Amino acid sequence: MAATNILKIENLSFERNDALLFEPVSFELNSGEALHIEGANGAGKTTLFQLLIKLLEPCTGDVYFRGQHLSQCHFEYLSDILFIGHQSAVKAALTVEENLSWMSPDGTSTEKITAALQFVGLEHYASIPCYRLSAGQHRRVALARLMTTSATLWYLDEPFAALDKQGVGFIENCMQQHLDQGGCIVFSSHQDLVKIAARSYRLNPLREVV
């Protein structure tokens, strides 16, 4: 099966205080491919993700989704992406199940939510309020969304932060499954991954990274 082009980035750049943050970014991503964004702390990886999810407007550059410029397919693009950032977007007062159910697309069945919790090893915590969980377990709740989403393109900013070895294994499996099904992943991580065959893209900062 011929790979379909999902994402094309051309010369994307962002300015803060009248200075470019990093060298203009260009890459392409076909179905079934993963891209590992590399860069030192402060290189601008999170900013790049924020540009990709349209939280920030780039100074220059274009983004194409499935061959169409984003200005022509804004709604389709935002409906078909999933972003998990540094902050887990988990509400401490809600239970694990309530959080996942709320974060999942409309009409996600209880069985699917239970299966997702099982996958990340939280099946016994379903009715526990999230304020009683550890940071790693919080992260697992957020990442359980990977099992319930129908989005093709995943943006994962440091998904393995706070996870133990077993948790990393769960998420790597989940990512591999998504790639096998023709999905795409753009992620950043300081961890060496063993199961995911990803291309690397090094983000070159244009200001001194301390």
Partner 1 sequence: MHNYLSAGFIAYLTRDLLLGVRNKTDLVKPLIFFLLVSALVPLSIAPEAERLAQLAPGMIWIFAVLATLLSVERLFSDDLQDGSLEQMLMSPNLLIMPILGKITAHWVMIGLPLTLLSPVLGVWFSLPTVAVTPMMLSLAIGTAVLCLIGAVGAALTLPRQGGVLLALLVMPLYMPVLIFGSATIQSAVDGLDWTAPLVILVALLAIAIALCPLAINAGLRLAKNG
Encoded one letter per residue, x for contact with partner 1 by CB under 8 A and - for no contact, window 126-165 reads: ---x------------------------------------
Q: Which residue stretch of 1-9, 21-29, 64-72, 87-95 sits at the interface with partner 1 (rule: CB under 8 A)?
A: 87-95
Q: Which of 87, 77, 96 is nearest to 159 (CA)?
A: 87
Q: For residues 90 and 147, which CB has a smaller minimum distance to partner 1 in the complex?
A: 90
CA distances from residue 1 to 119, 152, 182 in whole angstroms, order as listed: 29, 17, 10
Size of residue set near partner 1 by CB under 8 A: 24
CB environment 17-56: b (16+ within 10 A), e (fewer): eeebbbebbeeebebbbbbbbebeeebbbebbbbbbbeee
Interface residue with partner 1, options 27, 30, 66, 91 (CB under 8 A) = 91
Q: For residues 17 and 200, which CB has a smaller minimum distance to partner 1 in the complex?
A: 17
Q: Which of 156, 162, 179, 164 is nearest to 45 (CA)?
A: 156
Can residue 55 be called a binding residue for partner 1 (CB under 8 A)? yes
> Using CB under 8 A as the criterion, which residues of the chain lie in contact with partner 1 when the complex forms?
53-56, 75, 78-79, 81, 83, 85-94, 98, 102-103, 106, 129
